[in-house]
Amino acid sequence: MQNSLRGKKRPGEKVISSLLFLSAVISIFITLGIVIILAKESFLFFGSDEVSLKEFFLSKKWQPMIGEFGVRPLLNATIMTSSIAMLVATPLGIFVAIYLSEYASQRVRSVLKPILEILAGIPTVVYGYFALTFMTPLLRLFFGRDTVEIYNTASAGLVMGILILPLVTSMVEDALSAVPDSLREGAYGLGATKLEASVQVVVPAAFSGIAAAFIVGLSRAIGETMIVALASGAGPNFTFNPFKAAETMTGYIVRISGGDIGYDTMDYNSIFALGLLLFLFTLVLNIISRIIVKRYQEVYD
């Protein structure tokens, strides 16, 4: 009797677990697909006579029409918009997080956190509309219509900062609330004020989480597309002036692929080469953030 029960074969169980395993493996194939496709098209791009790796990284011109493929203007614009975004999102995000985690009452928090979630749930194209119809006119009002072009990296960067703000805030807030109360109480016991306890004890204790938030935010800013596509202008431009139009890497990809694009042309291959660069940037940033969290995380019991 016991034996017959134990011996009962259940082929269905095996089939189901294999199916589940297959589903889980799909995610590996997505990564493989991304890597293979980006690598293959980039290989075609760099393999052609028109462009060399040296030219790609050193030339200051990106003009596919005349065979100039220097990534620096696009890269420069990406760095400009992301830096401006991080200049907005980092201090603001950390301040808001400190307020939410250390100062705000339970009731205030329960109102504010959903509001930040709403901000995080708004599609990026809406932020693009905001940049073009609100931020740009505002900048032109402040700094004069002659200094600020209709399309400029400042407007895109500022609005991108607002976009990233909820992400940074929620990550920093998680890190701050993970710090145990015993540390705060210890600080108060030594006579610290609320500010001193927060800034000199809690914030350093949550440093790894804050650093990770910064890096994840930066990686998000580098890959952000619709805001720059709408607000920072079409056409590569090597400039450090934030009030001038300059196209970012993502902006270029969207503009080129939005038109009718023929397969296996230089244009087609070039967007994959830029995609590969973008993929590597964000991958490295994501890995760094995970290492920081893992290695420097204080362990509290």
Partner 1 sequence: MITPSNVLETHLKNRYRRGTFWKVAFYLSTVVAITFLILLLLNIINGAFGYVVVENSIDPVSLEVHGRTLEEMDPPELIGILETHLSRGLIRRYNHEMPLEERSEHEVLQLVYERVVAPKIIKSWTLFESLLQGSAIREWKASNSPQGILEFRTWLNLNFIRSPQSPTPEFAGIRTALLGSLWMIVITILFAFPVGVASAIYLEEYARDNLMTRIIQVNIYNLSGVPSIIYGLLGLAVFVRLLEPVTSGALFGLTDHSTASGRTILSAGLTLGLLILPIIIINSQEAIRAVPQSLRDSSYGLGATKWQTIWHHVIPSSLDRILTGTILSVSRAVGETAPLVVVGASTFISVDPNNVFSKFTTLPIQIYQWTARPQAEFRNIAAAAILALLVLLLSMNGFAIVARDKIRKKRRG
**Is the Cβ of residue 58 or residue 280 nearer to partner 1 in the bound state?**
280
Distance in Å, CB of 295 to partner 1, minimum: 15
Distance in Å, CB of 65 to partner 1, minimum: 21
Task: Round to whole Å and give the CA distance between 270 and 42.
Answer: 7
**Is the Cβ of residue 134 or residue 143 nearer to partner 1 in the bound state?**
134
Token couple for 55: 């030219």
* 3-class DSSP assignment, residue 62: strand
* 3-class DSSP assignment, residue 246: coil
Residue whose token pair is 């500022």: 158
* 3-class DSSP assignment, residue 7: coil
Cβ pair 291, 215 in contact under 8 A: no
**Is the Cβ of residue 73 or residue 217 nearer to partner 1 in the bound state?**
217
**Is the Cβ of residue 72 or residue 109 nearer to partner 1 in the bound state?**
109
Cβ pair 136, 231 in contact under 8 A: yes
Distance in Å, CB of 252 to partner 1, minimum: 11
Exposed e or buried b per residue across 247-272, where buried means at least 16 C-beta atoms within 10 angstroms of its C-beta: bbbbbbbbebeeeeeeeeebebbbbb
**Is the Cβ of residue 238 or residue 279 nearer to partner 1 in the bound state?**
279
**Is the Cβ of residue 237 or residue 250 nearer to partner 1 in the bound state?**
250
Distance in Å, CB of 135 to partner 1, minimum: 9
The Cα-based distances of 231 to 43, 133, 143, 166, 199 in angstroms read: 32, 9, 17, 21, 37
Distance in Å, CB of 192 to partner 1, minimum: 9
Q: Which of 231, 237, 230, 214 is nearest to 285 (CA)?
A: 214
Distance in Å, CB of 132 to partner 1, minimum: 6
Residue whose token pair is 């030594």: 190
